[in-house]
Each structure stands twice: as C-alpha cells, then as structure tokens.
Amino acid sequence: MKRILIINGPNLNLLGLREPDIYGKQDYKALLSLIKGTEAVYNVTTEVYQSNHEGDIVDKIQSAYGNFDGIVINPAAYTHTSVAILDALKAVGIPTVEVHISDISKREEFRHHSYVSLAAVKTICGHGLQGYVEGIEFLVENY
C-alpha cells in the first residue's frame, strides 16, 4: 500500500473563506474528507499537513524521507519564492506532484513562475480541489 503525503502551504487553511471566486466555496475540512476518500479508491494511506511557515514545510519534506512513497504539494505562495522547498524536494527525491487549485498561468505575472515545478514529476493547475485527487491517482499509477 503506497503512503502519500499531502502538503499545503500558507493560507490554504482558510479555504472557503479566502477569495471564494478563485479558490471555491469548499472549506479545508471538505478538502480533508475528499483526500480521505481517495484511500479506499486507490488503496493508499494519506497524511495531510498544512503550515503557514516555510521552514516547517522544509522540515516536513525532510521527515518524509523513508516514510512516504509520494508527495502531493500545494506550496501556495511559496511556489513562487521558495528555493528552500525546491531544494528539500530534490534532497529527498520522493516523486512529487505539484497542485494548484487555480490556474496560475492565467493569473498575475508573478504567479507564472514556480520553483517547485523544477522538482515535480507533474503539475496540475486549475482543476480545483479535484487536482489533489488527480495528483494522488497519478502517483499511484506511475510510481
């Protein structure tokens, strides 16, 4: 049974409240139950982690080494700034899918570049919360 770690970066705990026109009306609890529902479907175990702090996300990625077979990460704003998260993902070498709820390529210019993409085996953008399910499915089918 594959073990998948799902990591969410800053402000994703405010789903539902936060810019619902962009991120939808479903809250963070709805995301947690959506992810939980994938366990039986894809025969995986999941752990979901959320932090608003870059270093804590780096620590979590480091601690995944040897304990998880795949990572689905939405680094949120750190996508566009964090060499530290990129380096952590490269260091552990765990197959990683990058997920964005919105389509970052169609938003402000500063969201167009992703450091994390350089370490990701796949990037899923603009599929809403379903993107997390697609990320888990991709890891199960390909790794």
Catalytic residue positions? 23, 100
Q: Would you say 11 or 117 has its CB closer to ligand DQA?
A: 11
- The CB-of-108 to ligand DQA minimum distance in angstroms stands at 8
Asked if 81 touches ligand DQA (CB under 6 A), the answer is no
Asked if 102 touches ligand DQA (CB under 6 A), the answer is yes
Asked if 77 touches ligand DQA (CB under 6 A), the answer is yes
Asked if 60 touches ligand DQA (CB under 6 A), the answer is no
Q: Would you say 36 or 113 has its CB closer to ligand DQA?
A: 113
Amino acid (one-letter) located at 10: P
**Contacting residue, 38, 50, 51, 74, with ligand DQA by CB under 6 A:** 74
C-beta of residue 127 within 8 angstroms of C-beta of residue 134: yes
Amino acid (one-letter) located at 85: I
Residue 123 CA to its chain's centroid (Å): 10
What are the backbone angles phi and psi of residue 13, rounded to the nearest 5°?
Answer: -65, -15
C-beta of residue 135 within 8 angstroms of C-beta of residue 7: no
**Rounded-to-10 torsion of CA 83, 84, 90, 92:** -170
C-beta of residue 117 within 8 angstroms of C-beta of residue 90: no
C-beta of residue 104 within 8 angstroms of C-beta of residue 112: yes
Asked if 129 touches ligand DQA (CB under 6 A), the answer is no
Q: Would you say 2 or 11 has its CB closer to ligand DQA?
A: 11
Asked if 76 touches ligand DQA (CB under 6 A), the answer is yes
Q: Which residue ranges make up the site for ligand DQA (CB under 6 A)? A: 11, 74, 76-77, 79, 100-102, 104, 111
